[in-house]
Every structure is written in C-alpha cells, then in structure tokens.
Structure 1
Amino acid sequence: METTDVQSDDLVWGANAIARVINRTDRQTFHMLDAGELPAKKVGGRWVASRKKLLEFLIGEAA
C-alpha cells in the first residue's frame, strides 16, 4: 500500500468547508482561493485543501 503525506480525513472539500476551517466568510474565502492566497487546489471544479496546511497558513498569518 502506498502512503502519502496527506491523510484522506485531513482533506477539506469545498470552499464553504474551507471557510469554516479558517473562520472566514464564504465570500472572503472565495476571494482568497481565486487569488491563490490559500494553500488549496481546484479538483474537478471543486476546491480541496489540507486542514493541516490551512491551519499552518493561519498560524503564519497571525505571527
């Protein structure tokens, strides 16, 4: 079995779910995603991000 750095339960699917993780509004999150400001990718028309990377991003933003 192949292992990866990102566990499937660590993935956050959808901009609305990402907004809840980073405690931003949906509108703010869509803007940040479209501007490439968040560590996320679009897969099949849907945004996906690692919860761990999102939290690391927020910690770095607060510093």
Structure 2
Amino acid sequence: MEHDNDNGDLLMGANAIAVTLGITRRQAYRLIYGGMLPTFKLGGTVSARRSSLLRWLSEQESRAAA
C-alpha cells in the first residue's frame, strides 16, 4: 500500500519517496534497501521524512561538486 501525505513531512511508500526524488520506484527500492536513503519502517511500510530526503539529496549534490 502506497501513501503520500501532502499535508506534512511524512512520505509513506516507495512511490511517494520516488516522486519526491524524481526517480523511478525501482531506483527508490534499490536505494532504500541498499541503505543509502534515510528511511524507516512505519507499520511495515517504508517511510521517510521529505525534509530528510531533501537534505540527503543536497548532501549528495555537494559531494559530487567537490
């Protein structure tokens, strides 16, 4: 079950995470289960905070530019 909570910072499901990052769901799963994204399980559903993902993305961009 995939959920996207537009009213807050919480993203539930790989699809919501993928949309936020602008990647495919398959790429999101690869990053999630590879331990590369700041995610957690909430009731058995992979979840993340939008703010944490955007911070992670910014860090990745900074590392690539260095």
TMscore range, shorter length:
0.7 to 0.9
Between the aligned residues of both structures, percent identity stands at: 39
Number of equivalenced pairs:
56
TM-score, normalised by the number of residues in structure 1: 0.82
Unpaired stretches in structure 2, ≥5 consecutive residues: 1-6
| Aligned twin of 1:42 | 41
By relative contact order (CA 8 Å, sep 6+), the higher-ranking structure is 1
Q: Is there any run of 5+ residues in structure 1 with no aligned partner, and where?
A: 1-7
- Which residue number in structure 2 is paired with residue 51 of structure 1? 50
Q: Aligned partners of 2:35, 2:21: CA distance in 1, in Å?
A: 15
Q: Which stretch of structure 1 is more off in the superposition, 41-50 or 53-62?
A: 41-50
Structure 1 runs, 4 residues or longer, greater than 3 Å off: none
